[in-house]
Structure 1
Amino acid sequence: MTVRGLENFFKLKAFTQVFTFGPTFRAENSQSRRHLAEFYMVEAEISFLESLQDLMQVMESLFKTTAMTVLSNCPKDVELCHKFLAPGQKDRLEHMLKNNFLIISYTEAVEILKQASQNFTFTPEWGADLHTEHEKYLVKHCGDIPVFVINYPLVLKPFYMRDNEDGPQHTVAAVDLLVPGVGELFGGSLREERYHLLEQQLARLGLTEAYQWYLDLRRFGSVPHGGFGMGFERYLQCILGIDNIKDVIPFPRFTHSCLL
């Protein structure tokens, strides 16, 4: 959860649905076609949210409604990109918009990857992160339809994601939306509002002192809630078919190139 995401939580005290849209900064030294050091992100937080299904409905609606609005208001610009930069993207985008997004669990995703005939640079294993090559394969395997991957291992996700309390597997109610050509576009989860479980998780990670203020926010109770973030430049990559994220932002800032 970013600083802006935390601001959203505070706003939930007064409003049930809040969002922000603005610059976000990435600390990792990521050198790829889908990472920037500074990018824009839509972050949303929703109160009284008790299921991933409800959260995924909001995510799918946001993607489709926004895409249809762009197609309606900027048809010539989109057509220019599809004609000269991404032939075939128009059909792929229409295919995404007219179909319901698919849902698979992280466990199912790993099994699909293990059975793939393709050789991956990173061997897929339960308990390991999904890499870009895995994400893109999963989307192709699902017929080039965006796919939600849910219920990730607890050890892979931040402390604030809601514990599924599902025994040995120990997963959290997290969800990533994978889209054609890009991989992960949305990332979200239900948030852990149960004080004792949040306290246990912070203690396990040795973060209790650093995040005492976060615990205090929930000491006297909270409501079920969840939220997500969507990278705006990756969204543009997806609907326009642009291969490199640096080509969808006017002044790209990436590692070792962050000039004002």
Structure 2
Amino acid sequence: MFLAAAKTLSVTSTTSREILLSIRHYCKKTPTKLRVSEVVSGADLGAKTTVQGWVRSVRPQKANLFLHVNDGSSLQPLQIVASPELNNPLVTFGSAVEVTGILKKSLHQKQPVELEADQVHVIGECNPVDFPFKIKERHSLEYLRQFPHLRCRTNAFSSLLRIRSEATSAIHSYFKENGFIQIHTPIITSNDCEGAGELFQVEPSGPEYNEDEHFFSVPAFLTVSGQLHLEVMSGAFSKVYTFGPTFRAENSQSRRHLAEFYMVEAEVSFTQSLEDLTKVMEDMFRSATEHVLAHCAEDVDLFHKHVTPGHRDVVESMLKKRFPAITYSEAIDILNRSSEEFAFPTDWGCDLQTEHEKYLVKHCGNIPVFVTDYPYNLKPFYARDNQDHPEHTAAAVDLLVPGVGELCGGSLREERLDLLRARLEEAGLEDTYSWYLDLRRFGSVPHGGFGLGFERYLQCVLGVDNIKDVIPFPRFSHSCPL
């Protein structure tokens, strides 16, 4: 506004020159507010800069006060150098501050820049005695899990959240670049896609609620999968996907299961080959992982060096080789020929357990492996019947990965109306899924799809053992603290 007014004055007058000089002086002296990630890049050397963040370390000395401040935008904090006069006793580890000063090149090799402060203002106090995280102490993920409301303040978990954010963007980018349409599938649904009965029922609460009536007139549940809704959309779009929360009422305390987690699901029309699906699974895995390694190098290194040492070699090995594929029958043969003692049986027709999946991955060179053509009776009603006798298998596939086991599960869908109707009648579901039969009656095409557990993907890439350590707020049986 001031600049616009000044330009309307004649620059030949002394008054106008003074106004312009004053405005330029004001603009030059006004500090620029930047994120820490922008400051540490060194782009604004010599500029008066303001940063806001949380104190990660405090080192008072006779000649100077040294602070490390971060705002979550970078693993690397910004070093603040201030005179001893600015050493406010409220500036402690964990406190929130606003610092203004001149950005200068640092003399130390480990940090490109530092901020020579002339103002340090405490915005939020923090008592370091009561704060559960201690300066210069590397806490385990198990310890951090006790403080779901505070663990984002630590290097390890803030790195995890930046990686998670970048991986989310990478997955969306992969689908967009490959012609998929994103569909927002509902969180509240009336169907049980998996058929396992592990559902959270949804009903309102309050004095006006009539317990004798369903709010939606039918029983409604939190979704266990967006697959069936994607199949609806695959009748109008050749490639669709969804990425959102899913819910399973599993009474489990395992390291691989959560009551609420995120799923990446895709559906491809006009395909009669499992190879079309496995190609999307593998390409998406590679694309997202390469993106994360390139754009979150420091954060990933923190995990691979200090949390899961040696796991970087595993990740690089996964990216170097194509993923092999074996049939379920071949997998059972491998397990039966093994000298390993398994807790669960390995007869043909059994469901593969985590111990079986991890062994198969190691047997194949500790890289991801596809297992195809499972027994028909192990798969839900929508899996395509291979009509092979006497084995009778379904055109289904799982992707098994190191350290986790099953990462993806998918199948070709049964598009043949007579076979699908017979399967639904056998299960007593024909009335419930009459709309699903309509999809086969009106312009049906061969199609298939899969789902990927996003938290398990992060476990695989980072080497994290417990799934509760790769999600911001883990939900599992007997645990919903906030």
Partner of 1:4: 226
Deviating 4+ runs (over 4 angstroms): none
The runs of 5 or more residues in structure 1 that have no matched partner are none
Q: Deviations over 1:77-133 (max 9, x none)?
A: 000000011111101100000100010000110111111111111011111100000
Distance 2:430 2:227 in 1: 20
Length-normalised TM-score, structure 2: 0.53
Partner of 2:401: 179
Partner of 1:158: 380
- 2:235–2:439 CA contact under 8 A, matched in 1: no
Distance 1:135 1:256, change over 3 A: same
Partner of 1:88: 310
Aligned residues between the structures: 260
Residue identity matched to 2:473: F
Indicate yes or no: 2:436 matched with 1:214.
yes
More helix by share: 1
Distance 2:312 2:433 in 1: 46
Equivalent positions of 1:185-224 (< 5 A) are 185-224=407-446
Structure 2 residue aligned with 1:108, among 330, 344, 359? 330
Length-normalised TM-score, structure 1: 0.97
Q: Deviations over 1:194-223 (max 9, x none)?
A: 100101111222222222221122123401
The runs of 5 or more residues in structure 2 that have no matched partner are 1-192, 194-223
Distance 1:259 1:48 in 2: 46
Equivalent positions of 1:15-164 (< 5 A) are 15-164=237-386
- 1:24–1:40 CA contact under 8 A, matched in 2: yes
SS across alignment from 2:346: coil
Residue identity matched to 2:344: F
- 1:106–1:149 CA contact under 8 A, matched in 2: yes
- 1:46–1:227 CA contact under 8 A, matched in 2: yes
Distance 2:406 2:334 in 1: 17
Mean Cα displacement is larger for which, 205-214 or 143-152?
205-214
Distance 1:128 1:255 in 2: 27
SS across alignment from 2:226: helix
SS across alignment from 1:169: coil
Partner of 2:175: none
Distance 1:3 1:181 in 2: 24
Distance 1:199 1:11 in 2: 20
Partner of 2:172: none
Distance 2:403 2:295 in 1: 23
Mean Cα displacement is larger for which, 9-18 or 185-194?
9-18
Percent of matched pairs sharing the same residue: 65
SS across alignment from 1:217: helix
SS across alignment from 2:390: helix
Residue identity matched to 1:151: D
Distance 1:212 1:259 in 2: 40
Deviation at 1:3, TM superposition (A): 4.7
Mean Cα displacement is larger for which, 42-51 or 3-12?
3-12
Distance 1:12 1:53 in 2: 18
Distance 2:225 2:323 in 1: 30
Residue identity matched to 2:357: E
Structure with more contact order per residue of length (Cα contacts < 8 Å, sep ≥ 6): 1
Distance 1:256 1:195 in 2: 43
